[in-house]
Structure 1
Amino acid sequence: MQFQENIRPYGASAVAERSVLRNVYIWMTLGLGITGAVALYVAGNPQLIRTIIMNRGLFFGIIIAQLALVFLLSARVHAMSPTAATLAFAGYSVLNGVTLSTIFLVYTAASISQAFFVAAATFGVLSFYAVTTKRDLGGLGQYLFAGLIGLIIASVVNMFLGSSSFEYAISFFGVFLFMGLTAYDTQIIKNWSRQLGSSADEADYMRVSIMGALKLYLDFINLFLFLLRFMGNRR
């Protein structure tokens, strides 16, 4: 089943919408829990984290594997079995936990906790707004996409410039960009749930839930990371 990112109203069952959104939030929370547990485990194992950081081939291999899983889910989730989609999402959560473990070497634990709770509160408010508002947020899509491309380009440029003030500006912009994406993606998921007709089976609901969870998971993680860069205290 293919899903459209068109956010025009569909006359679909409110029960289906609530069911999908509930499952999306459950799977997203499970994914974040897996990521957090793995990150804490790796960060608490000096030998393991040293091996990952010092072995550049391994580190970049993990990043490439993460990207591959995201592209796989984004492009093929409609053709995957629910089990395969779930395993791909769980695998991505594990790998992301490995790479995120490095933030414990850069930022204080207090800063990480503060950024996490601010991100959680912000995410919750924006996602709730997107679920309850009658406003169509579809018009934001092209601007958010353009902003995302600009953010990527600016981040790559600053890898060579190494400007702390430019990094601060990028982080500030990134926070607001992923705030917008959180609301936008939540409404996209609402739209997906409305496309599930009477012919949809449990597998279709599961695929929508996993893909929606991945979208919101990525929004939350990026919101958290940009908040951490913006307000975090380095060791």
Structure 2
Amino acid sequence: MQNVHHFGSAVATDNAAIRNRVLRNTYWLLSLSMIPTVLGAIIGVMFAVPIPRGFMGFLLFMAVAFGFIWGIQKNKDSGVGVALLLGFTFFMGLLLTPLLTRTLGFANGGTLIMTAFGGTAAIFMALASYATVTKRDFSMMGKWLFAGVIVLLLASVANIFLGMGALSIAISVLVIAIFSAYILYDVQQIVNGGETNYVTATLALYLDVYNIFSSLLSLLGLAGDRE
């Protein structure tokens, strides 16, 4: 009986070690993924890279993004997956070009960008820390959050045609709320052993952080616009 107990303890220790390693590698790769994002954003702004707008732009983005995501999922156990992830983050950095260009047009544009970056980092650190230590179970949120993302996509497509400022604000606020909740969900998936691949874990957390940052900057830009 004692041997069984020791065996159980050893397995639990091994599982904890694996989960800690996945979490550590995920945070490391997430930090690394910010470099191509910043590079893409700088190149986009400096060279005024034209980003297609409107419905065709949206369709093009979805096609390229899902192509990258499919490739990352297929190659998640090799270096190709990491390379594709970093390529994807460069592409996402380029996509920030219109938002950053507009924000930098304000007198306090640089401050707004740093505020959005600081706010995003604070949200991520607070929620990731909470998800790591809490005993609360966030696994039930998965399907509700996915449904929320579908609603956001539909609302975003509708607003391409409607162009309503109030709807843009509502979408940005909802994006921040949903992807903040996704941080809790995604980090806990790693902590509880539901996600054991650090490449796909990084992809999930990167999308959370990216969406919070861009929506936060959009909202701050509205304040900057009025100054």
- TM-score, shorter chain, exceeding 0.5: yes
Structure 1 residues 81 and 172, CA gap change in structure 2 (3 angstroms): closer
Uncovered stretches (5+) of structure 1, i.e. residues with no partner? 1-9, 197-207
Give the secondary-structure state (helix, strand or coil) at the position aligned to 1:129: helix
Structure 1 residues 175 and 92, CA gap change in structure 2 (3 angstroms): same
How far apart, CA to CA, are the structure 1 residues paired with 2:159 and 2:59?
19
Partner of 1:114: 115
Shift of 1:65: 2.6
Give the secondary-structure state (helix, strand or coil) at the position aligned to 2:122: helix
Structure 1 residues 55 and 129, CA gap change in structure 2 (3 angstroms): closer
How far apart, CA to CA, are the structure 2 residues paired with 1:34 and 1:104?
16
Which residue, 18, 21, 24 being the options, matches 1:22? 24
Partner of 1:41: 43
Q: Which has the larger radius of gyration?
A: 2
Structure 1 residues 54 and 169, CA gap change in structure 2 (3 angstroms): closer
Look up the equivalent residue of 1:222 and give its one-letter code: N
Shift of 1:58: 9.7
Partner of 2:64: 65
How far apart, CA to CA, are the structure 2 residues paired with 1:154 and 1:55?
16
Uncovered stretches (5+) of structure 2, i.e. residues with no partner? 1-10, 104-108
Shift of 1:152: 1.0
**TM-score, L = length of structure 2:** 0.81
Look up the equivalent residue of 1:67 and give its one-letter code: F
**TM-score, L = length of structure 1:** 0.78
> Percentage identity across aligned positions?
29
Aligned length: 207
Partner of 1:105: 101
Partner of 1:225: 214
How far apart, CA to CA, are the structure 2 residues paired with 1:136 and 1:59?
35
How far apart, CA to CA, are the structure 1 residues paired with 2:16 and 2:141?
24
